[in-house]
């Protein structure tokens, strides 16, 4: 889009994309933690309080990813609209 406009996009576009990428990485890390927790639970018996915290952390990360996705979609739509010829 920057090439179409022949000028750089607003700084909010880059920051929204960075926040979205960061949210994706957090969800990936929380998912890995959940997998490790689930595999250790199978070996060691009944679920523990620790497991609930891992799942809640994953849910919070997914919520943050959802919000970041909405924001980045809006920002990219606005940037696209600004890059269209008039």
Task: Please report where in the chains the tokens 């997914």 appear, as a residue.
Answer: 62
pLDDT in tens, 32-75: 998 888 877 666 656 555 678 899 999 999 999 999 999 999 99
- CB neighbours of 68 closer than 8 A, spacing ≥ 6? 16, 19, 20, 22, 23
pTM of the predicted structure, to 2 decimals: 0.80
Q: How many Å apart are CA 41 and CA 8, to the nearest integer?
A: 50
Q: How many Å apart are CA 71 and CA 58, to the nearest integer?
A: 20
Domain parsing of the chain, residue ranges: 9-82
Instruction: Output the CA torsion 54→59→64→67 (10° steps).
Output: 170
Task: Please report where in the chains the tokens 């909405």 appear, as a residue.
Answer: 70
What does the pLDDT read at residue 5? 64
Greater confidence (81 vs 48) lies with: 81
């Amino acid at each position: 889009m920057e090439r179409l406009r022949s000028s750089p996009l607003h700084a909010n576009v880059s920051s929204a994309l960075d926040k979205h990428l960061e949210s994706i990485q957090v969800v990936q890390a929380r998912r890995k933690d959940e997998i490790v927790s689930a595999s250790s639970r199978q070996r060691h018996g009944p679920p523990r309080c620790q497991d609930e915290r891992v799942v809640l952390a994953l849910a919070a990360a997914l919520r943050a990813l959802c919000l970041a996705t909405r924001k980045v979609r809006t920002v990219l739509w606005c940037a696209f609209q600004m890059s269209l010829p008039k």
